[in-house]
Amino acid sequence: MKFKEVQTLEKIASIIEASFVGDASFPVEGMNEIHVVEPGDIVFVDHPKYYDKALNSAATIVLINKEVECPEGKALLVSDDPFRDFNKLTKHFNPFIAATAAVAESAQIGENTVIQPNVFIGNNVKIGENCLIHPNVTIYDDAVIGDNVTIHAGTVLGSDAFYYKNRPTGFDKLVSGGNVVIEDNVDIGAACTIDRGVTASTTIMEGTKIDNQVQIGHDTIIGKKCLIASQCGIAGCTVLEDEVVLWGQVGVVSGIRIGKGAVLLAQAGVSKSIKGGVVYNGTPARESRQYLKEQVVVKQLVKNK
């Protein structure tokens, strides 16, 4: 998430009431999660296990809960609770604005696009040309939809990320300040849910087709010309490269990559990154031929027992 104007380190520190290490005028251009940070971004870290990863990331401002040596060319924001203060910054720079109409006045809708009854379109949404949005679709703020997109009834674009910190008092939610981007020629079935990014974009790339009742988590990137069948669940921060096929009820864990052209057969469970151009089956997913051999062996063991 980039700020509308470049901020200073001192200004950011004053917003969250934190101390800082570095030049007071050090430029701060935005804030992002660690997997998408760029120079000029703030990243937060609140566990020693991830200190080095955050300090050595592309981010040039690190929001951290311990005084450490500041890497050259970077700055620190020292806070007793980086998770809380990251939320403060999201709310400050991207506050929630309640809707006042079913289709926001700030929404932009392209020529020949059809919006069926009972559709909700939030603030600053952009929808391209020749789209068809069926009844009861909900499109949250800041979503970007390309040309020739079809979205079927009951689908939700831009719901919050499922991202919580477990505290003694209960689960503390990380505020979602990102959006959803749907590129050209994408079809999305009925009753799908695509969560917004925490600070960046959950992206469905050109030509991908999604069946009914599919869940796609925050900050996930679905490549070009993918096919995703019904009842698949894809966790956050995952990358599907181009032309990946997921058949029904495939489950994919967070933070992994599925290579170009991989095919996951029905009910496969993907627990780690896998290479492209291969057909997979089973849980944990492995090459289909290996899976079938294992099934034959198991049947023989049972038969001979």
The catalytic site residues sit at 218
| Six token digits for residue 210 | 């999604």
| Inter-residue contact 198 to 161 (CB < 8 Å) | yes
Three-state DSSP at 232 gives: coil
**CA-CA distance, 282 to 165, in Å (whole number)?**
31
**CA-CA distance, 234 to 32, in Å (whole number)?**
21
Three-state DSSP at 299 gives: helix
3-state SS of 216-228 is: ECCCCEECCCCEE
**CA-CA distance, 272 to 170, in Å (whole number)?**
29
What are the CA-CA distances from residue 31 to residues 41, 131, 144 (Å)?
Answer: 5, 32, 20
Q: Which residues contact 52 (CB under 8 A, 6 or more apart)?
A: none
Q: Quick one: which of 16, 36, 3 has its CA closest to 76?
A: 16
What are the CA-CA distances from residue 301 to residues 50, 91, 285 (Å)?
Answer: 45, 59, 22
Q: Quick one: which of 257, 253, 251, 281 has its CA closest to 269?
A: 251
